[in-house]
């Protein structure tokens, strides 16, 4: 999985600046809250995949719903990269392999995201983003799927700012 991120960082920066201005906060004031928001979004994504719900026979949500939850996490990852001034043109992950377990992958993203609070640096950030991309690979999402869904959600987020969400 290779995600083309160059234009996404610019788009995210525009949304971030708008939100910060509308809510009278700064990027620096909200870093820790955006790390928590990332954790929440990862949890919401896991919930929609139902990968951990061994007690239930209900199927996962539709692919479109799961993809929308996935790109919510992308929004916060991009935003945190802007904080660090780490904005590569693309990010790539390795192949998680057939034996990979998506539940383990979610836990790994959680663990690394929690570490980001204390080790807010380029290396940790890139590691988290690449680990998160492995989830996309496991879910069968492509670069095109992610970019398209991100752009749609970004538009919705701008609309939310227009309507005092």
Q: What is the CATH number of the domain that holds 25?
A: 1.10.4010.10
Helix (H, G, I), strand (E, B) or coil at 91: strand
Token pair listed for 107: 């836990």
Q: Which residues of the chain have pLDDT under 50?
A: none
Domains contained in the chain, number = 1
Q: What is the pTM of this model?
A: 0.95
- Residue 97's pLDDT is 67
For residues 69 and 145, give the distance between their C-alpha atoms in angstroms, rounded to a whole number: 12
Position 100 scores a pLDDT of 81
pLDDT for position 165: 78
For residue 124, give its domain range.
2-162
pLDDT of residue 98: 64
């Amino acid at each position: 999985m290779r995600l083309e991120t160059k234009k996404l960082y610019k788009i995210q920066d525009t949304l971030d600046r708008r939100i910060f201005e509308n809510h009278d906060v700064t990027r620096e004031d909200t870093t820790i809250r955006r790390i928590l928001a990332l954790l929440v979004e990862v949890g919401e994504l896991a919930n929609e995949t139902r990968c951990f719900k061994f007690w239930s026979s209900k199927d996962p949500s539709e692919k479109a719903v799961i993809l929308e939850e996935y790109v919510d996490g992308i929004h916060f990852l991009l935003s945190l990269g802007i904080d660090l001034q780490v904005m590569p043109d693309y990010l790539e992950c390795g192949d998680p392999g057939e034996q990979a377990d998506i539940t383990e992958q979610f836990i790994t993203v959680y663990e690394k995201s929690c570490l980001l609070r204390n080790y807010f640096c380029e290396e940790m950030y890139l590691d988290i983003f690449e680990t998160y991309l492995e989830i996309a690979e496991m879910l069968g999402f492509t670069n095109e799927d992610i970019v398209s869904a991100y752009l749609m959600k970004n538009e919705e987020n701008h609309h939310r700012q227009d309507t005092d969400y």
